[in-house]
Amino acid sequence: MTIDAAMPASGVRILRSPHGSPAARARSTDGRVIFAIGDIHGCYRQLSALLEAIVADLATLASAAPPLLVFCGDYVDRGPETSNVLTALIWLARHPALDVVFLRGNHEEMLLGFLEQPGESLAWLRRDGARTLMSYGVAVAESDSDTLEEDCVALRDQLLDQMPASHLEFLRALPIRRVCGDYVFVHAGLRPGVSLARQEDEDCLWIGKEFLRSDHRFEKVVVHGHSWNSDAPVVTANRIGIDTGAYATGVLTAVRLDGSSIAFIQARVPAAESFEVRPRPIEDGRGES
């Protein structure tokens, strides 16, 4: 990956994909420019900076068809501003000048699971969900495990009291996949050896190393989030990974696809809190990302 242009004042940089990228067999975006955005995880400042950069980038492009924005899931948890992120995404969905697709990630799946069966979501609440609840003004007190489990229903009810109905409607309506031209967009990936039409939603939301380590040639080039080990996107012959750990690295990434052209736009905003940034292991199924 090489830096094509840099705009340090805005904390944004643009990177070009090297030769040998999927562009060798992915040449169609159905005549339109596509921006796919990686995992946001409650990082509202990074999202705002990236959207500003995308708008600026669009102004330099000549395309008759309206652009398509595809968000690859995981809008909630880990970062501090889940509520603000969802409000911004809903605003985008209502913007008449944009064609926007919001895909479901495994963290939206876990949040919906908490809303439906709070008593079975204790692990999510302890690891990631407390920050989401806090973004809606719902405090999760530190307590022993027995007390917290008993409190799950009350916390769910408080969250529903504070969460706008539009947020809940948004979460429940998220699709799993989107195909455009020679690309398929999905949160986690696809199961190798299974046709696109027969992919299970569970795999699309959760799959890890079986997908990441495979050289299987899928029907489409897969654009996905969910897995990261640095602040750099990943480009291989069969996939483009755009999760760059925004909640820990402060870097939120989008890939711009225009026919066979591939470029990346990254918003670099210091994370709101200090995290120990280290490579994450390749995910092995449910519960890892």
Give this prediction's pTM: 0.88
Q: Does a structural domain hold residue 126?
A: yes
pLDDT of residue 23: 58
The confidence band for 279, taking pLDDT boundaries of 50, 70 and 90, is very low
Does 183 lie in the same domain as 55? yes
More confident residue, 195 or 63: 195
- CATH code at 217? 3.60.21.10
Does 210 lie in the same domain as 95? yes
pLDDT of residue 147: 61
Does 63 lie in the same domain as 164? no
Give the count of domains, the chain: 2
Return the closest-CA partner of residue 50 out of 241, 256, 278, 203. 256
Does 69 lie in the same domain as 190? yes
Does 68 lie in the same domain as 197? yes
Q: Does a structural domain hold residue 233?
A: yes
Q: Which of 4-18, 46-60, 109-123, 128-142 has the lowest mean pLDDT?
A: 4-18
d(CA 96, CA 54): 17
Does 219 lie in the same domain as 168? no
pLDDT of residue 60: 85
Q: Which of 24-33, 44-53, 216-225 has the lowest mean pLDDT?
A: 24-33
d(CA 27, CA 79): 35
Q: Does a structural domain hold residue 279?
A: no
Return the closest-CA partner of residue 135 out of 52, 75, 71. 75
What are the backbone angles phi and psi of residue 217, rounded to the nearest 5°?
A: -90, 100
pLDDT of residue 2: 36
Q: Does a structural domain hold residue 8?
A: no
DSSP state of 285: S
pLDDT in tens, 106-133: 999 999 999 999 989 988 998 889 999 9
Does 22 lie in the same domain as 74? yes
Does 197 lie in the same domain as 243? yes
pLDDT over 80 at 179, yes or no: yes
pLDDT of residue 58: 87
pLDDT of residue 143: 62
State the Rg of the chain over Cα: 19
pLDDT over 90 at 253, yes or no: yes
Q: Answer for the pair 188, 38: CB distance below 8 angstroms, yes or no.
A: no
pLDDT of residue 15: 67
Per-range mean pLDDT, top range of 17-26, 90-99, 258-267? 258-267
pLDDT in tens, 186-217: 999 999 999 999 999 999 999 999 999 999 99
Does 160 lie in the same domain as 23? no
For 138, the domain range is 106-173
Mean pLDDT rounded to a whole number for the chain: 86
Q: Does a structural domain hold residue 66?
A: yes
User: Where does a domain end: 133, 157, 173?
Assistant: 173
User: Where does a domain end: 173, 197, 223?
Assistant: 173
pLDDT in tens, 145-159: 566 777 899 999 999
pLDDT of residue 192: 96
Does 160 lie in the same domain as 244? no
Does 194 lie in the same domain as 168? no
Largest CA distance in the chain: 59
Q: What strand order describes the sheet that includes 33-37?
A: 2-7, 12-16, 261-268, 251-258, 33-37, 68-71, 99-102
Q: What is the mean pLDDT of residues 174-185?
A: 96
**Hey, is 14 helix, strand or coil?**
strand
Q: Answer for the pair 262, 22: CB distance below 8 angstroms, yes or no.
A: yes
pLDDT of residue 24: 66
Does 183 lie in the same domain as 265? yes
